Every structure is written in structure tokens, then in C-alpha cells.
């Protein structure tokens, strides 16, 4: 009888009538299967791209871009979606938590705008959940380059849209010599991508250009440090330089203290974590929706200086970040120094089919390392701990 049931199940699977969830249980541990369809608890592929995760009161909340089918699916027709989970593998759809405006055409988040890479943090003082995101205005392509903010009393929303803007208007970064603020450049024969032009970008060409109106803000993340300060990190200056900005105590505005990371380095998709007191950042290059090689950086202070550590990916597929682009680094609760690298495998022709590449972010010789895994579970971090302990023991022996 068992064999007959098995045979029938196989037939149904082959006929495509039923499908097994990608993140199914095998043995006792639920597996994470990078790049595969990831069904939520209703059996639908999770729709939370360019996402980030907040852990609050024992529950993980995954916020991301809610995409739609077809070529235009990157335009935001509904808003930002959220999912909740206790174990990081089984996710319940919590619906759209920030809704776009349906009727008010003067709204900056009118249906058809582009909302990317939403990140939510919790402010313990105000008891508000604060969502920041990259906002592009409807019909304007990617030229607006603004950062938007919304708040809610609950992680599952509804979030209320507050404002969007280009940050740091009228303030110079702390790690670019202030003498450069007055530099005059004859741009008549200055061609993009030449060494002369790169030098001028490093010397603040675009910071000066956007000084009054505020700096461009595209791919972004938000990071809350152990001591409660939050930082907004975004691609700026035509995606050439990353900006790291301190947020106000309520996390709703910029204090004006900011620094540049890798000037003219052409980085997107910043994701950050803190391990043993040091900050690690993983970014991508800039090739639109196509994958490229990831980069990594380390710093003792979030405002820099940052040192390049090269491509964190190793093995086959490393040169294209395993066909994905970073979005977030998630600290796993209850495990020391356990981090998950979260990335997107974009599908621009049908954005709703975009896949999630989650990999354990391990550290070797104080460098972040990413290796492809077909399927894995959180016990990988326990092994890491043991291996580290074992190797520490070994090195202590004469």
C-alpha cells in the first residue's frame, strides 16, 4: 500500500499537479534552499524582495518589495509586504504593511512609484516601528533618488507614510577635507570614467553638485548599533559612493553627521553586520538587475575608515555572487556570531518570480566568507563554533 501511495505521489509530482515546498522539512531540521521557490504558509512563493528582517519579541518580520508579474512588475502597485516567522524557514504572509496611494495623485507614493529595499527598525524610546526605503517617483525612472520614511505602532502595520527627501542638504561629510568644499572644477572636458574624472569624484564633485538640494539616495539599508544609534547607509553620487549617515534619536531624520565609504568605488546593495566589535559591509557592483561580484569591507568605527576585504564569495559562482545581489545581513537570535547573508536573484522580466539566496555568512581569518549551499539549516553555525573552538585549541598547542 505504502509503495502504491509513493508511486501515486511521484506520478502527481511528475504531472505537476502538486509540488513540494522548497523549504520543506527533511529529518527534523527545516532547510533553507537558496534560489528555489520559497512557499509561505499558504503555499505561495514569498513576495518580499530587496528585503530586510526585524526581530521583535520572539518573532522575525521580513519586509520586502511586493512585486507583480510581467515586465512592469517592479513598479509598486501595492506597497511593501511583510511576513512573520519564529524559525526563519516557515513564513506567514502578514499582507501589505505600507500601502501605496490609490487616488491622491499628489502623493509621493502614488501607485506606480518605485519602492525598493525597505528596512524596518524598532525605536525603543518612541515605541514606533520605523521603515526607511528607496523611493523613486512615478514616471521619473530612477532620477528622484530619494529616501522615504514611514512609521507604525505594530510590526505588521499599517505603516503611515511621513516624507521623502534627499538627505544631508547643506552639510559636508566628516571624512572629506572641508577645503574641497570650495574646489572649482572646469568640467568642460571632464569625461566620465576617466582617471581625472574619478579623482574629481573622490574630491567631492557630486557632493558639491548636490550640496544644496541634498545627496542622492538609492540602494539602502538601516543599521541599529548596540548602543541604540541608527545609521542610514545608501548609494549616492550617481551610485558611485556610499554614504553612511547618523539618524536622529527617533530614527526619523538625519542628524547631519555623515561620512563617505569607497568614494568612486561604484557600490550598490549595502548590507552590514557587527561582529566582535567590528563592522562588516557587503556590497555589489552596479550592473542593474544583473549579478556581479560582491565586495566586502571592514571598519572599527561605522563612520570609517573602511578597509576593503575583496570578494567574500568563494567557489563556483563566486564571480557573480551565486547569481544574486546582497540585501541584508541577519543576525540569528540566540547564537553568537551567527549571520545570514540575504540576497536577491532578480527576475526583471517577471519580478514576482525573483528568488532569495540566503547563505550562512562565515568568518575565516577575520574575513567574511560565503560558499554556495544547495540546502542548509541553522546548525551550520553550531559547527562553525565548534570548528573555531577546535582550531583555537590547536593553535594554542606548541
What does the block give as the cell for 342? Answer: 540575504
Shortest Cβ 268–ligand DGJ spacing (Å): 4
Q: Does 246 bind ligand DGJ (CB under 6 A)?
A: no
The alpha helices in the chain, defined as continuous H runs, are 2-14, 195-202, 205-209, 379-396
Q: Does 288 bind ligand DGJ (CB under 6 A)?
A: yes
Q: Does 94 bind ligand DGJ (CB under 6 A)?
A: no
Asked if 292 and 282 count as a contact pair (C-beta separation under 8 A), the reply is no
Q: Does 50 bind ligand DGJ (CB under 6 A)?
A: yes
Could you give the C-alpha distances from 164 to 107, 133, 154, 214, in angstroms and in order?
A: 11, 9, 21, 11
Write each residue from 177 to 216 as x if it is in contact with ligand DGJ (CB under 6 A), else as -, in one continuous string: ----------------------------------------
Asked if 13 and 20 count as a contact pair (C-beta separation under 8 A), the reply is yes
Q: Does 265 bind ligand DGJ (CB under 6 A)?
A: no
Shortest Cβ 224–ligand DGJ spacing (Å): 22
Q: Does 268 bind ligand DGJ (CB under 6 A)?
A: yes
Q: Does 40 bind ligand DGJ (CB under 6 A)?
A: no
Residue among 148, 79, 151, 73 at smallest CA distance from 108: 148
Give the Cα separation of 215 and 145 in Å (integer): 9
**Count of residues of this chain found to bind ligand DGJ when the rule CB under 6 A is applied:** 9
Nearer CB in complex with ligand DGJ: 207/269: 269
Nearer CB in complex with ligand DGJ: 111/117: 117
DSSP SS3 for 33: coil
226 phi, psi to nearest 5 deg? -55, -30
Nearer CB in complex with ligand DGJ: 242/378: 242
Shortest Cβ 143–ligand DGJ spacing (Å): 12
Q: Does 324 bind ligand DGJ (CB under 6 A)?
A: no
Give the Cα separation of 375 and 369 in Å (integer): 17
The residues with which 296 forms a beta bridge, in sequence order, are 282, 310
The residues with which 79 forms a beta bridge, in sequence order, are 99
Asked if 63 and 97 count as a contact pair (C-beta separation under 8 A), the reply is yes
Q: Does 116 bind ligand DGJ (CB under 6 A)?
A: yes
The residue within the footprint of ligand DGJ, chosen from 172, 289, 363, 372 (CB under 6 A), is 289
The C-alpha cell 590547536 sits at 394
Site residues (CB under 6 A) for ligand DGJ, limited to 127-186: none
- Residue showing the smallest CB distance to ligand DGJ in the complex: 288
Give the Cα separation of 294 and 6 in Å (integer): 43
Asked if 39 and 95 count as a contact pair (C-beta separation under 8 A), the reply is no
Q: Does 325 bind ligand DGJ (CB under 6 A)?
A: yes
The residue within the footprint of ligand DGJ, chosen from 40, 200, 210, 219 (CB under 6 A), is 219
Q: Does 238 bind ligand DGJ (CB under 6 A)?
A: no
Instruction: Give Rg (Cα) of the chain.
Output: 22
Nearer CB in complex with ligand DGJ: 31/216: 216
Shortest Cβ 327–ligand DGJ spacing (Å): 8
Q: Does 269 bind ligand DGJ (CB under 6 A)?
A: yes
Q: Which residues bind ligand DGJ (CB under 6 A)?
A: 50, 116-117, 219, 268-269, 288-289, 325
Amino acid at each position: 500500500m505504502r509503495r502504491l501511495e509513493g508511486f501515486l505521489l511521484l506520478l502527481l509530482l511528475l504531472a505537476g499537479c502538486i509540488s513540494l515546498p522548497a523549504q520543506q522539512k527533511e529529518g527534523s531540521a527545516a532547510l533553507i534552499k537558496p534560489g528555489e521557490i520559497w512557499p509561505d504558509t499558504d503555499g505561495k512563493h514569498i513576495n518580499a524582495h530587496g528585503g530586510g528582517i526585524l526581530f521583535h519579541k520572539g518573532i522575525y518580520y521580513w519586509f520586502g518589495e511586493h512585486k507583480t508579474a510581467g515586465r512592469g512588475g517592479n513598479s509598486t502597485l501595492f506597497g511593501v509586504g511583510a511576513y512573520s516567522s519564529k524559525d526563519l524557514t516557515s513564513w506567514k504572509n502578514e499582507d501589505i504593511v505600507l500601502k501605496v496611494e490609490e487616488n491622491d495623485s499628489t502623493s509621493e507614493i502614488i501607485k506606480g512609484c518605485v519602492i525598493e529595499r525597505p528596512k524596518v527598525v524598532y525605536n525603543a524610546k518612541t515605541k514606533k516601528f520605523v521603515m526607511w526605503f528607496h523611493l523613486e517617483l512615478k514616471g521619473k525612472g530612477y532620477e528622484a533618488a530619494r529616501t522615504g520614511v514611514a512609521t507604525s505602532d505594530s510590526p505588521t502595520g499599517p505603516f503611515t507614510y511621513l516624507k521623502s527627501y534627499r538627505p544631508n542638504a547643506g552639510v559636508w561629510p566628516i571624512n572629506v577635507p572641508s577645503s574641497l568644499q570650495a574646489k572649482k572644477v572646469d568640467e568642460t572636458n571632464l569625461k566620465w570614467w576617466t582617471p581625472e574624472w574619478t579623482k574629481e569624484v573622490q574630491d567631492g564633485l557630486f557632493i558639491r553638485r548636490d550640496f544644496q538640494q541634498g545627496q542622492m539616495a538609492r540602494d539602502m539599508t538601516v543599521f541599529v548599533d548596540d548602543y541604540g544609534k541608527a545609521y542610514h547607509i545608501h548609494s549616492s553620487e550617481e551610485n558611485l559612493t556610499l554614504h553612511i549617515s547618523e539618524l536622529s534619536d527617533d530614527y526619523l531624520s538625519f542628524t547631519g553627521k555623515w561620512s563617505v565609504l569607497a568614494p568612486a568605488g561604484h557600490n550598490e546593495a549595502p548590507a552590514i553586520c557587527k561582529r566582535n566589535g567590528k563592522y562588516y559591509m557587503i556590497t555589489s557592483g552596479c550592473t542593474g538587475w544583473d549579478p556581479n561580484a560582491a565586495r566586502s569591507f571592514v571598519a572599527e568605527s561605522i563612520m570609517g575608515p573602511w578597509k576593503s576585504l575583496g570578494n567574500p564569495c568563494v567557489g563556483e559562482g563566486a564571480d557573480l555572487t551565486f547569481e544574486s545581489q546582497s540585501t541584508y545581513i541577519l543576525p540569528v537570535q540566540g547564537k553568537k556570531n551567527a549571520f545570514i547573508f540575504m540576497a536577491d536573484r532578480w527576475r526583471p522580466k517577471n519580478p514576482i518570480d525573483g528568488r532569495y539566496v540566503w547563505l550562512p555568512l562565515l568568518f575565516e581569518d577575520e574575513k567574511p566568507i560565503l560558499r554556495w549551499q544547495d540546502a542548509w539549516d541553522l546548525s551550520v553555525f553550531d559547527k562553525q563554533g565548534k570548528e573555531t573552538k577546535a582550531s583555537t585549541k590547536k593553535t594554542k598547542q606548541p
